[in-house]
Amino acid sequence: MRIATWNVNSVTVRLDRLLAWLERSGTDVLCLQELKCEAAAFPTEALRARGYEAAVRADGRWNGVAVLSRVGLADVSGELVDGPAYEGATEPRTVAATCGGVRVRSVYVPNGREIGHPHYAYKLRWLAALRETVAPEAAAGTPFAVLGDFNVAPADEDVWDISLFEGATHVTEAERNALAALRETGLGDIVPRPLKYDRPFTYWDYRQLGFPKNRGMRIDLVYGNAPFAKAVQDAFVDREERKGKGASDHAPVVVDLEL
């Protein structure tokens, strides 16, 4: 089974690329983030025509998540335990489903904006709620993974130049401690360094030639429990999909399982 995660940065803008990538990659289960569309506008029929069911949570703003599967889609859940709201709204930032015997949870962690901003405090509360939610899933005896755009670089090596991130979000001790607490539920990093590249980044800013200069960050992660990790045969970042006109600023992260 091939499982992947991808911050697509607008599923409607990148629909043609999404459909082409699904066909080319042979992915069975795909966790999507940053849909930027309302649930009613999600391309359900175009995906169904290619054999994929979809579990979608979206409200048209700068968020939205989905799980696509061609190996079954059951036990869909979209809520966090004591999930926090931001400015009075509970944002659609996670959805979970069981696909072919594997439980996956797609997450789009809040950005945080700036240290001291209310969105930063919201980000930390959201990560704490995520930990409480996934703890029983991680402890289950079946394969489980939480995948998505975490908006946190786990280590200094996960950004292209740590000296440029002083005083910025994504690399703070509090954010990294929240990731460590999530891993303490029994989850491990499935795509470790090094891979085919010295720096297996997953995100590169559109500005200032970020991708050609490999000025990136590793913020799209796959955290799996022991049964999931035991089944892993390969894991990689599909840098090729970041190339060319109309690409998302994130690359897909792919994991192959032998179940």
37 DSSP 8-state letter = S
Confidence tier at 58 by pLDDT (50, 70, 90) = very high
For residue 212, the SS3 value is coil
pLDDT tier for residue 61 given thresholds of 50, 70 and 90 = confident
- pLDDT classification of 85: cutoffs 50, 70, 90: very high
Among 18-32, 43-57, 182-196, 236-250, the minimum mean pLDDT is found in 182-196
- What pLDDT does 201 receive? 94
pLDDT value of position 6:
98
If pLDDT is split at 50, 70 and 90, which confidence band does 199 have? low
Gap between the Cα atoms of 241 and 116, Å rounded:
35
Selecting among 52, 120, 170, 250, the annotated active-site residue is 250
Under the banding of pLDDT at 50, 70 and 90, the label for residue 248 is very high
The answer to whether residue 226 scores a pLDDT higher than 80 is yes
Cβ(101)–Cβ(31) under 8 Å? no
Domains of the chain, earliest start first: 2-257 (3.60.10.10)
One-letter amino acid at 20 equals: A
The one catalytic residue in 52, 122, 149, 203 is 149
**Is 170 in the active site?**
no
Quick one: average pLDDT of 79-92? 95
Q: Say which range, 30-39, 124-133, 190-199, 226-235, has the weakest mean pLDDT.
A: 190-199
Q: How far apart are CA 54 and CA 41, in angstroms?
A: 13
Which pairing describes strands 102-108 and 144-149: parallel, antiparallel, or unpaired? parallel
Which residue's structure tokens are 């975490």? 150
pLDDT for 192 beyond 70: no
Torsional class of 87: left (φ above 0), alpha (ψ -120 to 50), beta (otherwise): left
Which pLDDT score is estimated for 191? 84
Q: What percent of the chain has pLDDT over 90?
A: 94
Buried b (16+ CB within 10 A) or exposed e, 91-128: bbbbbbbbbbebbbbbbbbbbbeeeeeebbbbbbbbbb
Spatial distance between the Cα atoms of 24 and 29, rounded to a whole number of angstroms = 14
Decide if pLDDT at 230 tops 70.
yes
Q: How confident is the model at residue 200 (pLDDT cuts 50, 70, 90)?
A: confident
Three-class DSSP category at 6: strand
147 beta partners: 106, 222
Distance CA 74, CA 69 (A): 10
DSSP state of 91: -
- Alpha-carbon gap, residue 223 to 129, rounded angstroms: 16
How many helices and strands in the chain, by DSSP H and E?
5, 14
Binding site as annotated, residues for Mg(2+):
7, 34, 149, 151, 249-250
List 28, 52, 108, 170, catalytic entry = 108
32, two tokens: 């999507």
* 162 contacts 176 by C-beta, under 8 angstroms: no
Whether 250 sits among the annotated catalytic residues: the reply is: yes
pLDDT of residue 196: 52
